[in-house]
A = this chain, B = another copy of it.
Amino acid sequence: MTKKTTIYDIARKLDITAATVSRALNNNPKISDATRELVIQTAKAMNYEQNKVAKALKSGKSYNVGVIVPRIDSNFFASVITGIEEELYPNGYHVIICQTHDQENLEIRNINSLLNAQVDGILMSISNAKLEQNESFKSLLRKRVPLIFFDRQKDIPGVSSVTIDDFKGAYAATKHLIDQGCKRIAHLSNDRLLEIFKNRYLGYKQAIIDSGLEFDENLVIEISSRVAEGRKATKTLLEMGNRPDAIFSTSDFTALGAIQEIKEHGLKIPDDICVAGFANEPFTKFMELSITTVDQSPIEMGRLTAKVFLEEVSNPSRIMSQKKVILSPELLIRKSSLKHSS
């Protein structure tokens, strides 16, 4: 790498001080127009680029923001990240993405690693419900580094969050299944210590109760968001004496697993069993048997998360203000749950 020009190089060439150069480049009003113009011209001519690291040291800000997600290989998280970037880039921030692959230890390691890199804030979709008790996490809170949850959150004092109304989304999906004539609706859930899954579960449950159907706790299975897990759980459900006639899943991936398993068992979708997922992953639309799902407007979610972060850093008082932004979900009805008769 060739050496970069610094403000000292410019100062030397113009026979002025680095301080003056710095001020000129920062549009400090105390600098005369003539000098400012001269400095700017020279800087351009010399290919000057501000050294962000030096600025970071002086200002105590790195202009890097950490984003922690379970994985980037899902349209949902990828889109949230896109939204975050759209909002943060124009403000001079860079985004460092970390994946937890749903592993606790990786989540901790990523937090430490980001703090170590002096990030100005951390935006995360939490994957470990017990994170709260972890020492590294506690120290993160103590340091008052801006922390914002999106999608998967835990209710922690002083930590803002951006989510969708999971209860509403789940309620709408379940209601739709009921409207299709389904009576025994199973639910593929996930760790309900996390608000997101708890609320989806509650929305599902409420819709059943409101419709006067019997609520059966045995039809709720807690698994992680992977196709194979969806298959396994569905196998269990199908082998029950009184098998369900619909499956509402917290994840499109597990819904896909469910569909595969149901077909394997020789059952028809949606005639024998209706299926609905959550997240509107692109494949749900592409499948020959398109999958009913709930859209979470991920790009919007990302933008809003970034906005909340920007507010927090620019707020010098840093008062414990916990902001909760809640987006509205949209039910997308597709073939996997739309009976021909109706």
Q: Which residues of A contact B (CB under 8 A)?
A: 1-2, 4, 47, 49-54, 56-57, 62-64, 71-75, 78-79, 81-82, 85, 89, 94-99, 113, 115-118, 139, 142-145, 227, 256, 260, 263, 283, 286-289
Chain B residues near A263 (CB-CB < 8 A):
288
Docked pose: A1 CA to B79 CA in angstroms: 30
Is the Cβ of B72 less than 8 Å from the Cβ of A78? yes
A230 to chain B, nearest CB (A): 11
Q: Smallest distance from the beta carbon of A92 to chain B beta carbons, Å?
A: 9
CB-nearest residue of chain B to A2: B143
Contact A139 B72, CB 8 Å, known A97-B95, A263-B288, A286-B227 = no
Copies assembled: 2
- For A78, the chain B residues whose CB sits under 8 A away are 71-73, 78
Beyond known contacts A1-B144, A49-B116: 5 more, CB 8 A cutoff? A53-B57, A64-B117, A97-B97, A260-B286, A288-B288
Q: List, in ascending order, chain B residues with CB within 8 A of A79's CB.
A: 73
Q: A94-B96, A263-B288, A288-B288 are in contact. Are A118 and B52 (CB under 8 A)?
A: yes
Give min CB distance, A69 to chain B, whole Å.
10
Give the distance to chain B from A114, nearest Cβ to Cβ, in Å: 8
**Residue in B4, B96, B143 whose beta carbon sits within 8 Å of that of A1 in the complex:** B143
- Min CB distance, A136 to chain B, in Å? 11
Contact pick for A51, options B47, B73, B118, CB 8 Å: B118
Contact of A49 among B115, B144, B288 (CB under 8 A): B115
The smallest beta-carbon distance between A251 and chain B, in angstroms, is: 14
Residues of chain B contacted by A99 (CB below 8 angstroms): 82, 85
Nearest CB of B to A324, in Å: 22
- Residues of the B chain whose Cβ atoms lie less than 8 Å from the Cβ of A64: 64, 96, 117
Shortest distance between the CB of A218 and any CB in chain B (Å): 28
Q: How far is the CA of A118 from the CA of B64 in the complex (A)?
A: 12
List 4 tightest A-B contacts by C-beta distance, closest first: A73-B78, A53-B56, A283-B283, A72-B72
Could you tell me the distance in whole angstroms from the C-beta of A227 to the nearest C-beta in chain B? 7
The smallest C-beta distance from A59 to any residue of chain B, in angstroms, reads: 10
Verify B1–A52 contact, CB threshold 8 A.
no
Report how far A253 CA is from B168 CA in the complex, Å: 33
User: What residues on B are CB-neighbors of A49 within 8 Å?
Assistant: 115-116
Least Cβ–Cβ distance between A275 and chain B, in angstroms = 14
Establish whether residues A53 and B47, one from each chain, have CB atoms under 8 Å apart when the complex forms: no
Chain B residues whose C-beta falls within 8 Å of the C-beta of A72 in the assembled complex: 72-73, 78, 81, 97
